[in-house]
Amino acid sequence: MKFTQMIEAAIPALRRYARALTRNGDIADDIVQDTLVRALRSQHLFEGADVRAWLYTILTNLNRNRLRSLARRPPLSAIQDNDVSDFAGPELGSRDIERAIARLGEDQRSALLLVVLEGLTYREVAAVQGVPLGTAMSRLSRARAQIKTYLDAEHPALRCVK
C-alpha cells in the first residue's frame, strides 16, 4: 500500500479522535487538515510500519500547540450544558460522560481517547505522547478514576429501603 493510501485510510480515525479531543467539529477539521499537510510534507521522515501512530503524534502535538496559544489569550466563559435545565432521557448519561471527560487534563483526556476511542495499545499511546509506558498507564488510570469519581458524585448510590 502506498504512503498516500495509508494516510487516506487513516483520515476517518483522525477526524474521530480530533473531534473527541477538541470537542469542536470546525477546530477538529482544521487540526486534521494541518496534520495531513505536515504528514505529506514530512513523508521522507516517516520511519516504521504504523502510519496511524505517527499521524496521531502529529495531531496531538498540533493540538498541544493550539492549547498553548489559547492559554496566552484572555479566557472566554462558554455556556455549559448545566446552565440550562437538563431533560431526562437516554442522552443524559452521555452528557454526564462528556462532562467528565471535559474535566480531565489534556494529557489524560488524550490518552483515554486514544485507548477507548481509537483502540491503541498502552505502548502506542506512550509513543504518541512521547512518554514512558508507565506514565501513559498512570495517565489512563487517573483519567478513569476521575471519571468514576465524577459520575459517582453526579449519581449518588441509591439506598435500600426495607
Other CB atoms within 10 Å distance of the CB of residue 130: 11
The answer to whether 41 and 7 have CB atoms below 8 angstroms apart is no
- The predicted-structure confidence for 99-114, as pLDDT tens digits, reads as follows 888 888 888 998 998 9
Check residue 74 and give its pLDDT: 65
Its CATH class, for the domain covering 89-156, is mainly alpha
CATH fit for domain 1-78, picks 3.60.15.10, 1.10.1740.10, 3.10.129.10, 3.30.2270.10: 1.10.1740.10
Q: Which segments of the chain belong to CATH 1.10.10.10?
A: 89-156
DSSP 121: -
Q: Which segments of the chain belong to CATH 1.10.1740.10?
A: 1-78
Check residue 94 and give its pLDDT: 63
Please state, for a pLDDT cut of 90, what percent of the chain lies above it: 38
Q: How confident is the model at residue 71 (pLDDT cuts 50, 70, 90)?
A: confident
Q: What is the arithmetic mean of pLDDT over 126-142?
A: 92
- The structure's pTM equals 0.62
Q: Is it the case that residue 153 has pLDDT exceeding 90?
A: no
